[in-house]
């Protein structure tokens, strides 16, 4: 196959490229330049491009840089800022996967005549021998599994995508890189959002004018008990960092964007029986039926919990946000947990699993309490 491998300059994508070369594919490397801003810490810095380029040269394959910075700003960074301004908690890595790696890059790779795009994500793509349908399973290395941030992949994307390191543990990936003498073998993992500079998220958001101080209110008594620097600085479920002195442990239980108010309360007020999930995607392309039992994961490394999916009756469908809802059915599902769970911050990804198999997912909706 003629494969384009997305190389971030890290060890996983380096080894992904090496494995494809070894398997006899015709492999071309590409590094995406995503951010034109000041950050040099993330996946788009000059030194990371250089690492990718050197690994590609060592593997005897050509390497290019695609500049997607404009799209990245419009489809990842701006929505990230807007989401915080609206009081929700975005996941920019998910947006990047959705719009950059598995849309713009796939599109370009197809135009260029590549048969597939490979990445260094820790996830397994499995072909059903009988039906030919494609499934996405958690990585062999459970601690490094990235299926959650790939919940949006459907059959069309998976048909063009390879994940060569998903069946290896991280330790095995590093060992492989060392054996090949790749310069990225012992490189530290990038943990942060790539476009956030040293000043951190609050500084980034403050520079973009979305931080406005407001009151912290006790949900039990209605009393103002403190102030916050901006609703974007707190996330539902957060315990630390609140400028209030309280006896009992207090959590952020709600954020009211219109009033710039943060509501705190004891843990029991945080627990909810269900969550509405919109912007749905399903790996198999077919929606889940009402009553389907799944395991639900709501954070990148969160513990999955059992739940049931329900599709609301048609009259409950909000057709104003999704014009296709009338034709294809509901624009959201209700996920009911077996046991009440801490409320999921609106904007967060909610992924559905059957054991190791990713079924799909969506985005937690803003719900009034």
Closest approach, Cβ 105 to another protein, in A, equals: 11
**Closer CB to another protein, 259 or 338, in the complex:** 338
Backbone angles phi, psi at 193, to 5 degrees: -65, 125
Is residue 328 a contact point for another protein (CB under 8 A)? yes
332: left (phi over 0), alpha (psi -120 to 50) or beta: beta
User: CA-based diameter of the chain, in Å?
Assistant: 67
Is residue 280 a contact point for another protein (CB under 8 A)? yes
Question: Residues 240, 242, 247, CA angle at the centre, nearest 5°?
Answer: 85
* SS3 of residue 36 by DSSP: coil
One of 329, 337, 356, 366 touching another protein (CB under 8 A): 329
One of 289, 303, 315, 320 touching another protein (CB under 8 A): 289
Closest approach, Cβ 106 to another protein, in A, equals: 7
Backbone angles phi, psi at 268, to 5 degrees: -60, -30
- Is 146 in contact with 122 (CB distance < 8 Å)? yes
Closest approach, Cβ 128 to another protein, in A, equals: 13
Whether 194 is catalytic: yes
Is residue 331 a contact point for another protein (CB under 8 A)? yes
- Bridge partners for 41 per DSSP: none
One of 23, 82, 156, 171 touching another protein (CB under 8 A): 156
Nearest to 184 by CA among 55, 56, 60, 19: 55
Stretch that binds another protein, among 138-146, 190-198, 261-269, 304-312 (CB under 8 A): 304-312
Stretch that binds another protein, among 128-136, 206-214, 277-285, 342-350 (CB under 8 A): 277-285
Question: What is the C-alpha separation between 21 and 151, in angstroms, rounded?
Answer: 28
Is residue 351 a contact point for another protein (CB under 8 A)? no
Is residue 257 a contact point for another protein (CB under 8 A)? no
Whether 96 is catalytic: yes
Closest approach, Cβ 7 to another protein, in A, equals: 13
Size of the residue set binding another protein (CB under 8 A): 59
Cα Rg of the chain (Å, integer):
22
CB hemisphere CA count around 156 (13 angstroms): 11
- Bridge partners for 117 per DSSP: 4, 161
**Closer CB to another protein, 65 or 271, in the complex:** 65
Residue indicated by tokens 């630390």: 240
Paired tokens of 58: 């060592």
- Is 119 in contact with 101 (CB distance < 8 Å)? yes
**Chain residues 18-77 in contact with another protein, contact rule CB under 8 A:** 26, 28, 31, 33, 36, 44, 46, 49, 53, 62, 64-67, 69-70
CB hemisphere CA count around 360 (13 angstroms): 22
Is residue 284 a contact point for another protein (CB under 8 A)? yes
- Bridge partners for 2 per DSSP: 26
One of 179, 293, 301, 369 touching another protein (CB under 8 A): 293
Q: What is the secondary structure of 200-247 as a DSSP string?
A: HHHHHHHHTT----EEEEETTT--EEEEES-GGG--TT--TT-S---S
Closest approach, Cβ 240 to another protein, in A, equals: 35
One of 108, 167, 201, 269 touching another protein (CB under 8 A): 108
Active site residues: 96, 194
Judged by the rule CB under 8 A, the positions of this chain that interact with another protein are 26, 28, 31, 33, 36, 44, 46, 49, 53, 62, 64-67, 69-70, 106-108, 110-113, 154-157, 280-282, 284-290, 292-295, 306, 309, 311, 314, 322, 324-325, 328-333, 352, 354-355, 359-360
């Amino acid at each position: 196959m003629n494969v384009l491998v997305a190389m971030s300059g890290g060890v996983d994508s380096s080894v992904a490229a090496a494995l494809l070369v070894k398997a006899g594919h015709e492999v071309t490397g590409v590094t995406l330049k995503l951010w034109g801003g000041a950050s040099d810490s993330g996946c788009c810095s000059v030194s990371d491009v250089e690492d990718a380029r050197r690994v590609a040269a060592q593997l005897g394959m050509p390497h290019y840089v695609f500049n997607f910075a404009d799209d990245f700003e419009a489809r990842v960074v701006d929505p990230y800022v807007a989401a915080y301004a609206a009081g929700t908690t975005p996941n920019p890595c998910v947006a990047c996967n959705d719009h950059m790696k598995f849309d713009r890059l796939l599109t370009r790779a197809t135009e260029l005549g590549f048969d597939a795009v490979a990445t260094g994500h820790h996830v397994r793509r499995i072909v059903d021998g009988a039906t030919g349908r494609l499934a996405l399973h958690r990585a062999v290395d459970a601690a490094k599994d990235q299926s959650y941030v790939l919940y949006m992949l459907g059959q069309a994307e998976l048909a063009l995508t390879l994940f060569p390191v998903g069946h290896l543990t991280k330790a095995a990936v590093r060992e492989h890189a060392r054996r090949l003498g790749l310069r990225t073998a012992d490189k530290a993992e990038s943990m942060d959002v790539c476009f956030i500079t040293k000043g951190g998220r609050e500084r980034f958001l403050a520079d973009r004018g979305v931080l406005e101080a407001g009151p912290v209110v006790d949900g039990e008594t209605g009393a103002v008990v403190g102030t916050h620097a901006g609703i974007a600085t707190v996330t539902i479920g957060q315990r630390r960092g609140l400028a209030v002195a309280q006896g009992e442990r207090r959590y952020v239980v709600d954020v009211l964007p219109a009033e710039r108010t943060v509501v705190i309360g004891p843990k029991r007020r945080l627990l909810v029986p269900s969550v509405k999930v919109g912007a749905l995607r399903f790996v198999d392309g077919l929606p889940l039926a009402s009553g389907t039992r799944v395991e639900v994961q709501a954070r990148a490394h969160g513990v999955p919990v059992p739940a049931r999916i329900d599709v609301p009756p048609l009259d409950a469908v909000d057709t104003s946000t999704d014009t296709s809802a009338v034709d294809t059915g509901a624009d959201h599902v209700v996920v009911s947990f077996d046991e009440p769970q801490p409320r999921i911050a609106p904007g967060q990804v909610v992924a559905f699993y059957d054991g190791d198999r990713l079924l799909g997912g969506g985005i937690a909706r803003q719900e009034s309490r």
